[in-house]
């Protein structure tokens, strides 16, 4: 499942080609993805200009000239691509092998600089969805989301407030979208490893009895940012069917320190540990039992 870095990579791939483009024609090849397409979506989108392609947590937010916003979630296998690129087309656009039966939504767009092309949303497993809001602040998907981990609101103070007194394992706390938005199984594992925190540590144990953040909590804030920034820099992971908007795939997975590396040596300098896998809340957790400790 795409996590924040993958969605951000898609956003960065879409933005230069889509911002400023007019949506000329919308074709929906089916009535639903995970959920039905919003009623009248075709008519609502046609004629509007995409002003901005943004992101909140794992949601792409396409802000339209009429003031509305199209929210898009990629689910497990959702991907955007441009069917053709008029000018300065990077070679990798040509490497795509479209499977038309999975192309569920197609926009014919015209861009003042790049000319006409098609933006296609494909999603073989159809766990993705789109929704349309005249006022995006009314979207239930965005309500209650915690701070963006790369934004200023995510810091030692805010994380201390969110973890204080929590009896759940730190891994579960970080997966809770109200604590911090956009993190999933992969980057939580990576952040905990980098901060040297054992995934079973109770979230509240990262604070002293007086409620002050321990060094581990401070390390966790920095580690979370760092693993995300590094993943975005290399274009997200290549897990499952993730593809960025340019049809290429990232290669951060080659640099995972613990995720999916059970039985391999811990990459922490000087550490002699071997990566282990346990199951927490029904999902795999990868960690090093030597350098990841209880705070
Ligand atoms: Zn280790």
Alpha carbon 193 to chain centroid, angstroms: 20
Q: How far is the CA of 208 from the centre of ligand 1 (A)?
A: 25
Rounded distance, CA 150 to CA 197, Å? 20
For the beta carbon of residue 157, count every other beta carbon within 10 angstroms. Answer: 11
Helices 215-233 and 4-18: crossing angle, nearest 10°? 40
Q: 86-90, 140-144, 198-202: which range is least confident on average?
A: 86-90
Predicted local confidence at residue 91, as pLDDT: 32
Task: Tell which phi-psi region holds residue 56, choosing left (phi > 0), alpha (psi between -120 and 50) or beta.
Answer: beta
Q: 76-80, 213-217, 239-243, 284-288: which range is least confident on average?
A: 239-243
Among 202, 264, 254, residue whose Cα is nearest residue 231: 254
- 40 has pLDDT over 50: yes
Residue 283 is a catalytic residue: yes
Rounded distance, CA 124 to CA 287, Å? 32
Predicted local confidence at residue 94, as pLDDT: 31
Q: How far is the CA of 241 from the centre of ligand 1 (A)?
A: 30
pLDDT digits (tens, 9 = 90+) for 83-128: 765 434 433 333 344 557 888 999 999 999 888 888 989 888 899 9
Do 169 and 199 meet the contact criterion of CB atoms below 8 Å apart? yes
- Residue 199, SS3? coil
Show the beta-strand stretches assigned E in 152-288.
276-280, 283-287
Predicted local confidence at residue 84, as pLDDT: 62
Residue 3 is a catalytic residue: yes
Predicted local confidence at residue 92, as pLDDT: 33
226 HSE (CA, 13 A, CB side): 16
What percentage of the chain has pLDDT greater than the value 90? Answer: 70
Predicted local confidence at residue 98, as pLDDT: 54
- Residue 17, SS3? helix
Q: How far is the CA of 268 from the centre of ligand 1 (A)?
A: 5
Question: Of 55, 56, 58, 166, which residue is the catalytic one?
Answer: 58
For the beta carbon of residue 42, count every other beta carbon within 10 angstroms. Answer: 15
Rounded distance, CA 122 to CA 128, Å? 9
Question: Averaging pLDDT over each range in 5-19, 71-85, 92-106, 205-219, which range is the top one?
Answer: 205-219
Predicted local confidence at residue 130, as pLDDT: 97
For the beta carbon of residue 99, count every other beta carbon within 10 angstroms. Answer: 9
Mean of per-residue pLDDT scores for the chain: 88
What mean pLDDT is predicted for residues 193-199?
98
Rounded distance, CA 217 to CA 215, Å? 5
Residue 58 is a catalytic residue: yes
Q: 3-7, 69-73, 270-274, 279-283: which range is least confident on average?
A: 3-7
Predicted local confidence at residue 291, as pLDDT: 98
Q: How far is the CA of 219 from the centre of ligand 1 (A)?
A: 16
170-186 burial, b at 16+ Cβ within 10 Å, e below that, comes to bbbbbbebebbbbbbbb
Q: How far is the CA of 263 from the centre of ligand 1 (A)?
A: 12
Strands laid side by side in the 22-28 sheet? 22-28, 103-111, 115-122, 79-82
What percentage of the chain has pLDDT greater than the value 70? Answer: 87
- 63 has pLDDT over 70: yes
- 245 has pLDDT over 60: no
- 253 has pLDDT over 70: no
- 242 has pLDDT over 50: no
Q: How far is the CA of 154 from the centre of ligand 1 (A)?
A: 26
Q: How far is the CA of 266 from the centre of ligand 1 (A)?
A: 5
- Helices of type H across 138-194: 156-163, 170-175, 185-194
Question: Of 2, 5, 147, 199, which residue is the catalytic one?
Answer: 2
- The single-letter DSSP state of residue 31 is S
- 80 has pLDDT over 70: yes
Q: CA 186 → CA 3, 60, 243, 285, distances in Å?
A: 8, 20, 17, 9
Rounded distance, CA 244 to CA 48, Å? 24
Predicted local confidence at residue 146, as pLDDT: 96
Query: What's phi and psi for 170, nearest 5 deg?
Result: -60, -30
């Amino acid at each position: 499942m795409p996590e924040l870095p993958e969605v951000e990579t898609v956003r960065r791939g879409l933005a230069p080609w889509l911002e400023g483009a007019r949506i000329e024609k919308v074709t929906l090849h089916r009535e639903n993805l995970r959920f039905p397409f919003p009623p009248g979506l075709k008519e609502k989108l046609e004629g509007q200009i995409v002003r901005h392609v943004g992101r909140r947590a794992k949601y792409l937010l396409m802000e339209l000239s009429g003031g509305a916003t199209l929210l898009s979630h990629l689910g497990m296998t959702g991907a955007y691509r441009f069917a053709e690129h008029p000018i300065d087309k990077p070679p990798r656009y040509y490497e795509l092998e479209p499977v038309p039966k999975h192309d569920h939504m197609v926009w014919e767009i015209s861009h003042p600089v790049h000319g006409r092309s098609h933006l296609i949303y494909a999603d073989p497993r159809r766990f993705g969805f789109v929704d349309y809001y005249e006022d995006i602040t009314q979207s239930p998907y965005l309500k209650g989301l915690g701070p963006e981990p790369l934004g200023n609101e995510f810091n030692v103070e805010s994380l201390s407030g969110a973890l204080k007194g929590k009896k759940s394992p730190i891994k579960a706390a970080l997966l809770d979208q109200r604590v911090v938005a956009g993190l999933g199984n992969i980057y939580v594992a990576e952040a905990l490893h980098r901060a040297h925190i054992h995934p079973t540590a109770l979230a509240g144990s990262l604070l002293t009895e007086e409620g002050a953040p321990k060094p581990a909590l401070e390390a966790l804030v920095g580690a979370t940012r760092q693993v995300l920034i590094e993943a975005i820099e290399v274009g997200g992971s290549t897990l499952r069917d993730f593809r960025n908007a340019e049809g290429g795939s990232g290669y951060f997975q080659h640099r995972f320190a613990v995720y999916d590396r059970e039985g391999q040596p811990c990459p922490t300098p000087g550490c002699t540990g071997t990566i282990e896998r346990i199951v927490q809340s029904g999902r795999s957790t990868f960690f090093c039992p030597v350098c990841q400790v209880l705070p």
